[in-house]
A and B are shown apart, each in its own frame.
Chain A
Amino acid sequence: KQEVTQIPAALSVPEGENLVLNCSFTDSAIYNLQWFRQDPGKGLTSLLLIQSSQREQTSGRLNASLDKSSGRSTLYIAASQPGDSATYLCAVNTGNQFYFGTGTSLTVIP
Chain B
Amino acid sequence: NAGVTQTPKFQVLKTGQSMTLQCAQDMNHNSMYWYRQDPGMGLRLIYYSASEGTTDKGEVPNGYNVSRLNKREFSLRLESAAPSQTSVYFCASTVVLGGGGNTIYFGEGSWLTVV
Interfacial residues, chain A to chain B (CB-CB below 8 A): 4, 30-32, 34, 41-46, 49, 51-53, 89, 91, 93-98, 100-103
Task: Give the A-B pair count, Cβ closer than 8 A.
Answer: 66
Task: Give bound CA distance, A54 to B23, whole Å.
Answer: 33
Residue on B nearest A51 in the bound complex, by CB: B99
A95 x B109 contact (CB < 8 A): no
B42 x A32 contact (CB < 8 A): no
B100 interface residue per 8 A CB criterion: yes
| Tier of interface size on chain B | 20 to 34
26 A-B contacts (beta carbon < 8 Å): A30-B101, A31-B102, A32-B100, A34-B104, A41-B109, A41-B111, A42-B108, A43-B106, A43-B107, A44-B106, A45-B106, A46-B104, A46-B105, A51-B100, A93-B101, A93-B103, A93-B104, A94-B101, A95-B101, A96-B102, A97-B45, A98-B33, A100-B42, A101-B42, A102-B41, A102-B42
B74 interface residue per 8 A CB criterion: no
Interfacial residues, chain B to chain A (CB-CB below 8 A): 31, 33, 40-43, 45, 48, 50, 90, 94, 97, 99-109, 111
A95 x B102 contact (CB < 8 A): yes
Q: Which residues of B contact A34 (CB under 8 A)?
A: 103-104
Task: Give bound CA distance, A43 to B33, whole Å.
Answer: 14
Residue on A nearest B50 in the bound complex, by CB: A96
Taking the nearest CB of chain A, how far is it from the CB of B56, in angstroms? 9
A96 x B48 contact (CB < 8 A): yes
A42 x B109 contact (CB < 8 A): yes
Q: Which residues of A contact B42 (CB under 8 A)?
A: 4, 89, 100-103
